[in-house]
Amino acid sequence: MTPLARRALTLVALALLNGCSSLGYYSQLASGQLHVLQAREPVAKVIADPQRPAALRQQLVKAQAARTFASQHLHLPDNPSYRVYADLKRPYVVWNVFATPPFSLNPVTHCFPIAGCVAYRGYYSVGGARGEAALQNQQGMDVFVGGVEAYSTLGWFDDPILNTMLSWGDERLASVIFHELAHQRFYVKDDTEFNESFATFVEQEGTRQWRARQGLPSPDMRAVQQRDQFIGLVLQTRQRLQQLYAQPLTAPQMRQRKAEEFERMREAYRQLRDQQWGGNTRFDAWVYAPMNNAKLLPFGLYDQWVSGFAALFKNSDGDWQTFYHAVEQLAKLPAEQRKATLRQLAAAQSATS
């Protein structure tokens, strides 16, 4: 076994990304991560190779400009990550399985020595993810499977630009690089909401600054407003469901009320779409697909405290180093106090928006 393979196996066994008591699960983690590592090649080599597709080479050139911007202007880690490329020949690098009890929005968590507790379980094949989802369904859980285009190994490896990251265009690729490097810049064990909201804010503000640096016009504010309204609608539904699940109702009553809340969300969405968005159907597929608690989890994880971090950035006078220091101080607080502070910051941000 090569040193790279041994390191991959050791770190994955420590649950760098995910983990489980099953030897089979560890095996697919180790082999999946090793495949990613072995597929890497220097971006500069790909760009210089005239036999590679011109569109790929051009996109990687733009990605490297964004990568340099991330370190020089956003003060994100300056290392070989995202200066290597890997073509996995599949649409996603992993598929995450989210699960909750039927009458709770608390995720089934998985805790590991390095990454801490996370609210999902990842698989390097869609078949493995669907198999896990079926097992969770058999146990009565609400389950959602979502494909992931990129992840961070938190600096343990040189993370590559993946083919899975290229399909959404140059700006989205830059955004993903900012997001994943933010995880390398700062990560708190056992607090997925904190980590993902922090990285999402860095992604959004970093992308805004990246566009300004290139002299690009501001993004279509109608699209931004629609996205924010949609996320707000989902978060409001989460809040109402949390209140519902705290009530002393029978299981049949709870199921009926739960279904009513999801239909209430759909009706509110229809009003937004038809009365304010001019019939834009960009979120129809998500809204009208089967709905459950687990499907709402990524919104709470990735968006819960973004406005709080935006307020913290504003309080830092837009200085990234000051902001990161404030984030580090915030992370030292006990979990509940940390959430309360972010809640206050988010309220202040909302009041001034």
How would residue 17 be classed by pLDDT, with cut points 50, 70 and 90? very low
pLDDT at 156: 87
Q: How far apart are CA 115 and CA 187, in angstroms?
A: 9
Q: How far apart are CA 323 and CA 132, in angstroms?
A: 39
| Residue 114: half-sphere exposure toward Cβ, Cα within 13 Å | 15
pLDDT at 115: 66
pLDDT at 251: 97
End-to-end CA distance of the chain: 56
How would residue 114 be classed by pLDDT, with cut points 50, 70 and 90? low
Which pTM was predicted? 0.83
Structure tokens at 226: 């629609």
> Is pLDDT at 300 greater than 90 in this prediction?
no
Looking at residues 169-185, what average pLDDT do you find?
93
Q: What is the pLDDT of residues 25-82, one digit of tens each?
A: 878 888 999 999 999 999 999 999 999 999 999 999 999 999 999 999 999 999 999 9
Cα 99 from chain centroid (whole Å): 16
Q: Which residues pair with 265 in a beta bridge?
A: none
How would residue 190 be classed by pLDDT, with cut points 50, 70 and 90? confident
Q: What is the pLDDT of residues 324-339, one digit of tens each?
A: 999 999 999 999 999 9
Lowest mean pLDDT among 51-55, 184-188, 225-229, 349-353: 349-353
Q: What is the pLDDT of residues 132-155, one digit of tens each?
A: 999 999 999 999 999 999 888 888
| Residue 178 · residue 207 · CB < 8 Å | yes
